[in-house]
Structure 1
Amino acid sequence: MGAIPFPAKRLHRSGFTMVELIVVLVLIGILGAIGAARYFNRNSFDAAFFAEQTRAMLRYAQKTAIARNTPVFVELGDNRIGLCHVAPNGNCPAASRVQFPSGRSTGEGTDTYCQSAAWYCIGRPKGVSYSYSVVMTQFAFDALGRPVAGAGEFPGLAIAVGGDGQSRTVSVTPETGYVQ
């Protein structure tokens, strides 16, 4: 009897088929088109950044008031929010402006609406809107870090920042001054 031949070794080739490659390229193209559209419309990103800048500024104002044992005023303008050591009454004098922590404030709206880059002031970027929950143009954090309004009790503050159809809220709690 003759020997039974062993089956020939099959060559196993690793790799992708043409169909798999085309499917992957189509998926990358779709994801790229969606991502590029979101990337080039900056209003949503600018609104999120403005809201975070506002939170950071309010927390800094509260901490500065506690550290210096003196009130720090927050000026709420139509196109900017700034910090001042005295009640601004519509415009913060240059000598009373709270200095920006790192030396220079930057940003699209900041360069347009704030008179000084050294002042801790942030301007509203184009395509971003904001409004407050109460009718006041200023309030202060006292030496204990509590928010106070001019002649009355601080009612709390909610700043709605909008851009690209999305809204973000920055709020200051009345009793404690907690910024969230």
Structure 2
Amino acid sequence: MLIGILGAFAGQRFFSRTNFDASGYANQLATLVRYGQKLAIAQNRSVFVRLNGSSVALCYDAACAARVAAPAGGNSGSAATTQRCRNPATNIYDAAWACEGLPDGVAMTNAGTFYFDAVGTPFNVADAQPTLVSTFPAALAVDITGNGVTLRTTIEGSTGYVH
């Protein structure tokens, strides 16, 4: 009887795809942000990270008119990515863009846009380029939530360290 009760209540949570989607997306988010920082350093230019609540994307400008190519030549191509990673100017899906869409049933908090400068320091999108003064917070916490599970990715303000 105990197994039946546990199966009825805990089974739904344990076998929910949303839990796995949230975990996978939190990993994709951290990986893309780290890649953006490394790319900014390697190319000696600013790389913008757009967190708009439905996707995470890398661009060379705040408006995402110049999009960063995905490191493997293409993004995941998942249903969420094809729906949420569209060229802002044409509304056409861009498979080569370093962008990943938020899966259905998963939510993102603290959405916004920031950029890494050529030495990998994060700046708020409103900070003029080039500048030495960053108004980026001491730490930006981005929470990915799905089916009651919350996973946090933090970007440190002084170093850009992502964890």
**TM-score category (smaller protein):** 0.7 to 0.9
Q: Deviations over 1:55-75 (max 9, x none)?
A: 000000000000000010011
TM-score (norm 2): 0.80
Q: Which amino acid aligns with 2:108?
A: Y
Q: Which amino acid aligns with 1:129?
A: A
Does the CA-based 8 Å contact 2:13-2:147 persist in structure 1? no
CA distance in 2, matches of 1:163, 1:57: 20
Aligned residues with identical type, % of pairs: 38
CA distance in 2, matches of 1:153, 1:38: 40
Q: Which amino acid aligns with 1:162?
A: T
Task: Please show how residues 4-19 of structure 1 align to structure 2 within 5 Å.
Answer: none
Q: Deviations over 1:76-125 (max 9, x none)?
A: 1121111001122xxx11xx100011111122311110111110011110
Are residue 70 (structure 1) and residue 53 (structure 2) matched? no
Please name the residue that 2:150 is paired with: 167
Are residue 130 (structure 1) and residue 100 (structure 2) matched? no
Task: Please show how residues 49-68 of structure 1 align to structure 2 within 5 Å.
Answer: 49-68=24-43
CA-CA distance at 1:137 after TM superposition: 2.5
Structure number with higher helix proportion: 1
Give 5+ residue unaligned stretches, structure 2: 87-93, 128-133
Structure of greater Rg = 1
Please state whether the residue corresponding to 1:139 is helix, strand or coil: strand
Please name the residue that 2:90 is paired with: none
Give 5+ residue unaligned stretches, structure 1: 1-28
Q: How many residues align?
A: 142
